[in-house]
Chains A and B, each alone.
Chain A
Amino acid sequence: GAGVSQSPSNKVTEKGKDVELRCDPISGHTALYWYRQSLGQGLEFLIYFQGNSAPDKSGLPSDRFSAERTGGSVSTLTIQRTQQEDSAVYLCASSLPGLAVEQYFGPGTRLTVT
């Protein structure tokens, strides 16, 4: 079956612009996660959605970052007024309920802020 998909695969934007990154999880996966990987760093947790529960936003680095998940499926990560330090690969993952530890990742969106 189809895996996790993300779009766009690459995004170059000017400092100060807003960007939206999209994630389509695996069908039936109720848990959805966003991570980012900056150059030379590990994957950094950003936000976690589980079903209809309030999302865990504890990893969002600033209030310029927000995410929503519509209809329990597709998610959009929005970065407002982008800064150069936002340049990274943004990864989305999803998992089945109760098997949250085995997360399935999408290919990521490489964001470059110039």
Chain B
Amino acid sequence: DQQVKQNSPSLSVQEGRISILNCDYTNSMFDYFLWYKKYPAEGPTFLISISSIKDKNEDGRFTVFLNKSAKHLSLHIVPSQPGDSAVYFCAATGTASKLTFGTGTRLQVTL
């Protein structure tokens, strides 16, 4: 039972354009959501998070949007840069301890 779903395994975006990565969840007990970025042969690194009491959180080029009624969140990267090319994991938690991760979306930013 996949409680956190990232239905797009890959995404290609031109440098300078907006990248939009999507994530859906099924567990209504989740109240905190995170995005992690992973380069090959490295562990995931925390990128940005959002609490369920908010619908938007922004940090520089990265913005996360949460639509609780649709159980959907998205990560916007603008402008996209070649260094953003990585696998992005959406994660959720309801206990502030263990995270439930999606399967990841591989983002390729092309020149």
Contacts and interface: CB of A to CB of B under 8 A. Distances in A.
Contacts of A43: 44, 89, 91, 99, 101
Interface of B: 2, 4, 6, 32, 34, 36, 41-46, 49, 89, 91, 93, 96-104
B42 A103 contact: no
29 contacts: A31-B97, A33-B98, A35-B101, A40-B103, A42-B4, A42-B6, A42-B101, A43-B44, A43-B89, A43-B101, A44-B101, A45-B98, A48-B97, A56-B98, A58-B98, A59-B98, A91-B43, A100-B97, A101-B32, A102-B34, A102-B49, A103-B46, A104-B45, A104-B46, A105-B43, A105-B44, A107-B41, A107-B42, A107-B43
Contacts, number: 61
A106 interface: yes
Given A42-B102, A43-B89, A101-B49, A50 B97 contact: yes
A2 to B, nearest CB: 13
Contacts of B32: 101
A44 B6 CA distance: 15
B53 to A, nearest CB: 14
Q: Which 10 A-B pairs have the closest CB atoms?
A: A105-B43, A42-B101, A43-B101, A42-B103, A45-B98, A100-B96, A105-B44, A100-B97, A106-B43, A107-B43
Nearest to B104: A42
A42 B43 CA distance: 13
B50 to A, nearest CB: 11
Contacts of A31: 97
Given A50-B97, A102-B49, A106-B43, 10 more contacts: A41-B103, A44-B101, A48-B97, A56-B98, A100-B97, A101-B49, A101-B93, A103-B99, A104-B46, A105-B45
B97 A42 contact: no
Nearest to A9: B41
Interface in A30-88: 31, 33, 35, 40-45, 48, 50, 56, 58-59
Nearest to B45: A105
B92 to A, nearest CB: 10
